[in-house]
Structure 1
Amino acid sequence: MPRDLPDWTYDRRRELGDRIRDLRIRANLTQEVFAEMTGIDRRTVQRIERGTSDPPYSSLLLIAQALDVRVSTLVD
């Protein structure tokens, strides 16, 4: 059953996606290469970067490792 979340949670999810996309682009990685590096499906990477998906903590760990940053860098 879906639950309604406060609006600010959607804003933070978009901020997270923007941060991940910016770091990926700075690392000169395409979404395809990034998806291969993380083991996350490319469509899922797209949804995370658009802020339409809530990545689980395990995905954040994989993303942080691929971008050579701490998880806190992603979510701060």
Structure 2
Amino acid sequence: MGTDPPPALGDRIRTARTALKMSQERLCELSGVDQQTINRIELGRHATRIDTLYRIARTLRVPLSDLVRE
């Protein structure tokens, strides 16, 4: 994708993941999203597709809208 995601997106994913005491590796296993992709999203270095964000949100048990809000 051509643009970087807002840094807050990665922060929200990391916050939700750590609130569940979940490692990036475990999030990868449960969501089917590559660990490198998850790491880059959390660092704000990867713009990702909405279906990937949906899988992450579903795994973290948070509404997708909570992750992508401005």
TM-score, L = length of structure 1? 0.82
Gapped regions of structure 1 (runs ≥ 5): none
- Aligned partner of 1:31 among 24, 29, 39: 24
Instruction: Indicate conservation of the 8 Å contact 1:13/1:52, yes or no.
Output: no
Partner Cα distance (2:6, 2:31) in 1: 19
Gapped regions of structure 2 (runs ≥ 5): none
Distance apart, 1:34 and its partner CA: 0.5
Query: What amino acid does structure 2 have at the position aligned with 1:47?
Result: R
Q: Secondary structure at the match of 2:6?
A: helix
* Structure with greater proportional helix content: 1
List structure 1 runs of 4+ shifted beyond 3 angstroms: none
- Aligned partner of 1:64 among 57, 62, 70: 57
Query: What amino acid does structure 2 have at the position aligned with 1:66?
Result: T
| Count of aligned pairs between the two proteins | 69
Q: What is the RMSD computed on CA atoms of the aligned residues?
A: 1.7
